[in-house]
């Protein structure tokens, strides 16, 4: 009787072990299939190193929340997370701004959500003690029938220059593993609390 019980227990252990191995194998096959599907994307390259595989021009709108005088929170798309330091000397040195800004294909400030090509989500901070400079890190979040996914941008915004380049360091979705350059140009300003940037984006690594 004891031998029969041990035999049943052994069978249970063997069946459980077999089931776990089967489950692990199925997971591995599924992961390989997912990776294979992702790897079906092919790298698109141009005939010339100077010719991008994709280009687009977008307009970035930033409306900074102004506490005094009162500005409606609903209109603001960015907010200062830190105040300038005492050594800022009118350059706002040390001020950090977090934003969720609309990005459009035309210059017009969007009135409704349907007019937005993407959302720029990230932060910039003023890091110039002697000059009015900033540093950006953002994701352009696309969610439309035209494009889905993100483009990740970062770099120095040297404001005393007419145009300045920041790096496109990656992407997801339709911009999977994209690399390139975004050239920024200040297109409009209204005091300190609104500015619009023209962003000429050139991608030199594209996967389709």
The CATH number covering residue 191 comes to 2.40.480
Give phi and psi for 179, each to the nearest 5.
-135, 145
Q: Residue 46's pLDDT is what? A: 57
**Domain tally, the chain:** 2
- Distance CA(103)–CA(63), nearest Å, equals 12
pLDDT tens digit sequence for 159-206: 889 999 999 999 999 999 999 999 999 999 998 889 999 999 999 999
Mean pLDDT throughout 56-79?
Answer: 82
> Are 145 and 78 found together in one domain?
yes
> Are 91 and 129 found together in one domain?
yes
The boundaries of the domain holding residue 201 are 43-207
> Are 54 and 34 found together in one domain?
no
> Are 4 and 81 found together in one domain?
no
**Rounded (to 5) percent helix, strand, coil in the chain:** 20, 45, 35
- Distance CA(207)–CA(122), nearest Å, equals 25
Q: Indicate the average pLDDT of the chain.
A: 81
Q: Residue 70's pLDDT is what? A: 54
> Are 10 and 94 found together in one domain?
no
Residue 191: strand, helix, or coil: coil
Q: Residue 81's pLDDT is what? A: 93
> Are 85 and 32 found together in one domain?
no
> Are 3 and 56 found together in one domain?
no
> Are 36 and 47 found together in one domain?
no
> Are 7 and 55 found together in one domain?
no
CA 122 remoteness from chain centre = 8
Q: Residue 26's pLDDT is what? A: 47
Q: Indicate if the pLDDT at residue 1 is higher than 50.
A: no
């Amino acid at each position: 009787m004891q031998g029969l019980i041990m035999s049943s227990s052994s069978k249970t252990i063997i069946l459980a072990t077999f089931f776990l191995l089967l489950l692990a194998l199925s997971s591995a096959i599924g992961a390989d299939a997912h990776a294979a599907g992702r790897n079906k994307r092919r790298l698109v390259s141009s005939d010339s190193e100077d010719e991008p595989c994709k280009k687009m021009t977008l307009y970035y709108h930033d409306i900074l929340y102004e506490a005094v005088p009162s500005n409606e929170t609903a209109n603001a798309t960015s907010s200062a997370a830190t105040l300038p330091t005492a050594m800022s000397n009118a350059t706002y040195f040390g001020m950090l701004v977090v934003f969720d800004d609309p990005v459009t294909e035309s210059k017009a400030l969007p009135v409704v959500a349907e007019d937005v090509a993407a959302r720029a989500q990230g932060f910039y901070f003023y890091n110039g003690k002697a000059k009015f400079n900033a540093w950006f890190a953002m994701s352009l979040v696309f969610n439309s029938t035209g494009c889905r996914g993100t483009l990740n941008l970062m770099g120095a915004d040297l404001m005393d220059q007419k145009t300045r380049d920041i790096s496109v360091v990656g992407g997801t979705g339709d911009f999977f593993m994209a690399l390139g350059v975004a050239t920024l140009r200040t297109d409009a300003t209204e005091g300190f609390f609104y500015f619009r940037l023209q962003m000429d984006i050139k991608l030199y690594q594209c996967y389709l």
